[in-house]
Amino acid sequence: MVRVKSRYLLCEVNVSDRSRLLLLDDRTIAVAVKAVVARTHGDYGAALCSVGFSVKYLNAHTGIVFLRLPKRCYRLLWSALPFITSVEARGQKIPCFLNCLHVGGTIRTCQKFLIRYNTQQLHRMLPKCKNEEEKQQVRQAILNCSLTRGKNEALEDELGSEEDEGE
């Protein structure tokens, strides 16, 4: 059986006020992406975007989002993403931009990258910690990322099942 080939974009939603991230949900991101693709690539882009595009996962706490794009036109759609300047969520306009961190062929590779990336981020945060307690917390988090497999596997399972359903 031939698989529908996709590309998964791992993006980071950057906002000035991190508390507003929690307002986001899958749909708002999808709407924003579709709108910006229609604006930059017109009807043609919008048409390509209407088949095989979806927001696979959104972590409203960290602002991480997985976009699924059809492989044949992911470059075209990707080129529109930098033009997102705001996302409309629950009646509020949230100024933000999408920063693409990784492009992968499966959700799994993206997720592996994400774990590595988050570890790096934690490492970067470590020296900035104000007191020992915070430092300890961050250290613990790093250890969790790299050592404890239980949590990761749970996440992988969740994503893995979504992927299957997508094909």
Residues at the interface with another protein (CB under 8 A): 2, 4, 37-48, 50-51, 72-73, 76, 79
Q: How far is the CB of 3 from another protein (least distance, A)?
A: 11
Q: How far is the CB of 46 from another protein (least distance, A)?
A: 5
Distances (CA, A) of 3 to 56, 57, 58, 157, 167: 18, 21, 24, 20, 6
Give dist(CA 139, CA 154) in Å, integer: 21
85 with 18: CB under 8 angstroms?
Answer: no
Q: How far is the CB of 81 from another protein (least distance, A)?
A: 13
47: tokens are 């048409």
Cβ closest to another protein, residue 74 vs residue 89? 74
Q: How far is the CB of 67 from another protein (least distance, A)?
A: 18
Q: How far is the CB of 43 from another protein (least distance, A)?
A: 5
Cβ closest to another protein, residue 46 vs residue 126? 46
Cβ closest to another protein, residue 70 vs residue 160? 70
Cβ closest to another protein, residue 36 vs residue 138? 36
Cβ closest to another protein, residue 43 vs residue 164? 43
